[in-house]
A and B are shown apart, each in its own frame.
Chain A
Amino acid sequence: MPMIEIAHVSKWYNPTFQVLKDCTLDVAKGEVVVVCGPSGSGKSTLIKCVNGLEKIDQGTITVDGIRVDAPETNLPKLRARVGMVFQHFELFPHLSVTDNLCLAQMKALGRSRDQAVAKAMALLDRVGLKAHARKFPGQLSGGQQQRVAIARALAMDPIAMLFDEPTSALDPEMIQEVLDVMVDLAREGMTMMVVTHEMGFARSVAHRVVFMDQGEIVEDAPKAEFFGKPRSERAQTFLSRVLVASH
């Protein structure tokens, strides 16, 4: 059974604009799937549907056997088990780095403050930011903030991680430090769905690459096959553009 199962999902922003068109995609346990495509192709919308931050109009999404789109599903409980990392970090500016990591552990998982802080410190150590535990998000660089955001998601002991363009808002010199954390995570066997243009990341750790354009999943192929020779012309054009841009 796949960890994330997206089946025939369609979504409209208004009666005339269809942002997702019959999307079907599975992510197996321990699998790393990179979703790429031009801006406006619906990839960020799709990943936000996986934990119910965006509603879908047709189709089904199942995470660890639980239907995300069913009205009876306890969404907060499900979301607490699915980590999400955003393009603009979305740390809570009024809370210290430690408190950013502890808030949901205490409020959603019911951990004690001591348990939560211990977990937070271990994870901050892991992303190399233990020394910054008492600082506030506004006092950190973009790369540091994104690493804190990843640690915040990991503090919930997630069964899968969703990344929504985690490096798009970063200065070029900070991209690598964030990618390094993500690569480690992938190598440890975390189930990951990653929306990104970082083809280097896709090449090194992805199992599959999904290419989206205009709300459709145009291509869904094993990494080697995708980079070897994508079947669709649209994917070929896209790849030639991003690969030129990144060299």
Chain B
Amino acid sequence: MNYNWNWGIFFQPSPEGAGTYLGMLVTGLQWTVVTALCSWALAFTLGSIVGIVRTLPQAWARRLGDAYVELFRNIPVLVQMFLWFFVLPELLPQAAGMWVKQLPNAPFWTAVVCLGFFTSARVAEQVRAGILALSRGQSMAGLALGLTRAQTYRHVLLPMAYRIVMPPLTSEFLNNLKNTSVALTIGLLELTARARAIQEFSFQVFEAFTAATVVYLLINLVVVGAMSLLERRLRVPGFIMAK
């Protein structure tokens, strides 16, 4: 292979005007992180609600929750991205559709909503599993003490359920972060999109994608480290939990 390595490329001025190629990577990283955090906030909130709904005694509520999860879990995230970005504005009344299309940072908002809903289905599944992992006696004990069902969830079931599913939730957080790269297809200038731009401008394909790979790895290592710290802090004394 006859390839001309040039790691110095990152310090050369970018063809976009101001800044260097490194600067392109950094702004890409910023979009990736912001998109990941915003979509996770949405996913965690919606996912927790749907996960709880799927454990309620009312059969109709559980079925509604099941339908939600199957809808958002079973369509590829790329297709969902296109549906939110290209199809939804056409289905809305004309004025609303125009408003969506002309939204500043439309790719960003679309990515947040799309990943938020997609990941929420997966979070819902984890939260439900965590609640069901607790014995039925726990909710009975809460109710028998005179707590309402909402109080029983808030003070008895959820604190343990979240602890139990913290490891798989960490995986979902990382999946969500990596899925932000799909948003390059609707024009979000996140890390992968910026790496591709560097390659297109400079032809330094290996340097561009090596840098992107290393950055993804580093963020994920930071997340894993932070989560295991959090797990240790929230550990329940005397309670045996999977390591």
- Interface residues, chain A, CB within 8 Å of chain B? 48, 51, 53, 75-84, 86-88, 90-94, 103-104, 107-109, 135-140, 152-153, 156
Contact = CB atoms under 8 A, between A and B. Distances in A.
Given A84-B145, A93-B236, A139-B238, 6 more contacts: A88-B135, A93-B239, A94-B236, A103-B147, A136-B237, A136-B238
B145 A137 contact: no
B143 interface: yes
Contacts of B148: 76
Interface string B140-164: 1111111110010001100110010
Contact of A104 (B135, B146, B159, B236): B146
Contact of B137 (A51, A88, A103, A139): A88
Contacts of A83: 144
B141 A92 contact: yes
B147 A135 contact: no
B147 A107 contact: yes
B27 interface: no
Interface in B192-243: 236-240
Interface of B is mostly: helix
Nearest to B134: A93
A80 B145 contact: yes
A107 B236 CA distance: 22
Contacts of B141: 84, 86, 90-92
A104 B147 contact: yes
12 contacts: A53-B140, A75-B143, A79-B144, A79-B146, A82-B144, A104-B145, A104-B146, A135-B238, A136-B237, A138-B237, A140-B238, A152-B145
Interface residues of B, number: 23
B7 to A, nearest CB: 50
A18 to B, nearest CB: 21
Contacts of A75: 143
Contact of B140 (A86, A104, A139): A86
B236 to A, nearest CB: 5
Nearest to A48: B140
B143 A53 contact: yes
A91 B237 CA distance: 13
Nearest to B149: A76
A88 to B, nearest CB: 6
Nearest to A155: B145
A51 B145 contact: no
Contact of A53 (B135, B144, B151): B144
A138 B238 contact: yes
Pick from B142, B146, B238 the residue with the most CB of A within 10 Å: B146
Contact of B145 (A87, A93, A156): A156
A71 to B, nearest CB: 15
Contacts of A156: 145-146
B138 to A, nearest CB: 6
Given A88-B135, A92-B156, A103 B140 contact: no
Nearest to B141: A90
Contacts of B239: 93-94, 136-138
